[in-house]
Amino acid sequence: MTEQESTFSADPQVPNLGRIAREEIDRRAAKAFVPKALVNAALDTRSPNGKTWNQRLAAVRSERELSGLYDELTGSLPLGRTLLGGFNPVRTGGPMQVSIDFAERHARDHPYDHDGSVRQEVFTRRGGMYFGTAHLLGYPANYPRPLYRFADFNAGWYASRNAAFQAALSRVTGVKLALDGDLIAHGSLLPGSTEKAARMLGERFGMRNPTIRAQLEKADSQDFEATRLYQQVFALADKAAGKRVAREVLPGIRLESPKITRQLTTAWFANRVDERYQRCMKR
């Protein structure tokens, strides 16, 4: 995983990072309805070393450097954290390019001795490898091959299992579903496409909508596999197929990142890592 993500560099350089970062800051500001003129004014002010923040931003070469600069920026400007605190363009980092959000959540539940912030620790070799390994291996899964953990590293825990559930649900309901591993519309009480499809089977399973929702909400844990919904959907899918259908499927997700310029998918990523894994095991 580390070889695929950073060739073992704890702080890999990213071409055109300053330009990419500025575009991402503008995108996030627009999404939060912060006027671009206000962002421009903030970045055109002089930083403590005499250069403007825009000049320093244009010169950054690595994500660690960029993240540190952004923290310095928001800490120095009046209302900086209020106006720009949530717009840090660096979302992953370190030798395993682990999600900083994941690292911060993991550190809240698992004490980890470090100096500074968790965000800063992700950009060290020790912290980056620790949090990246926790993300890759820190959950139980019944996968027959590491390939599906590699996909989950990119798409989220149990995404491969959940995508298989979506495939089975699509088979038995006839509803075309995106195999993305997202079983509920996060942040909304309204049902998403997968939940709507599951509700079509509610009467057949003797399950009301709130029960279906409650069981789908277990999708980020192994407990989902013990739910009646999971077991009944796969029982119907197996019967329809005349054989046991797959319990894991590579999620069909296009990789979205300011750093990615090609059309890449989670399946491409997982297979690339698996190729490296197979070569390593042969050695």
Q: Could you tell me the two tokens for 248?
A: 């894991």
Residues constituting the chain = 283
The residue out of 90, 109, 126 marking a domain boundary is 90
The residue out of 138, 154, 173 marking a domain boundary is 138
Q: How far apart are CA 41 and CA 6, in angstroms?
A: 35
pLDDT surpassing 70 at residue 261: no
- Residue found under tokens 């119907």: 236
Write out pLDDT tens, residues 210-230: 999 999 999 999 999 999 999
Q: How far apart are CA 154 and CA 152, in angstroms?
A: 5
Asked if residue 4 belongs to a domain, the reply is no
The CA-based angle 128-162-169, given to 5 degrees, is: 165
- For residues 274 and 162, membership in a common domain is answered with yes
User: Could you tell me the residue range of the domain that residue 160 belongs to?
Assistant: 141-283
Write out pLDDT tens, residues 68-83: 998 888 878 765 666 6
What pLDDT, on the 0 to 100 scale, is given for residue 203? 96
Q: How far is CA 248 from the centre of its chain?
A: 18
Total domains, the chain: 3
Asked if residue 31 belongs to a domain, the reply is yes
What pLDDT, on the 0 to 100 scale, is given for residue 244? 98
Contact 160, 171 (CB under 8 A): no
Q: How far apart are CA 92 and CA 94, in angstroms?
A: 7
Q: Could you tell me the two tokens for 44?
A: 């055109």
**Backbone φ and ψ of 99, nearest 5°:** -65, 130
- For residues 19 and 154, membership in a common domain is answered with no
Q: How far apart are CA 128 and CA 67, in angstroms?
A: 14
What pLDDT, on the 0 to 100 scale, is given for residue 77? 72
Write out pLDDT tens, residues 22-46: 888 888 888 888 888 988 888 898 9
- For residues 68 and 32, membership in a common domain is answered with yes
Q: How far apart are CA 43 and CA 54, in angstroms?
A: 5
Helix (H, G, I), strand (E, B) or coil at 259: coil
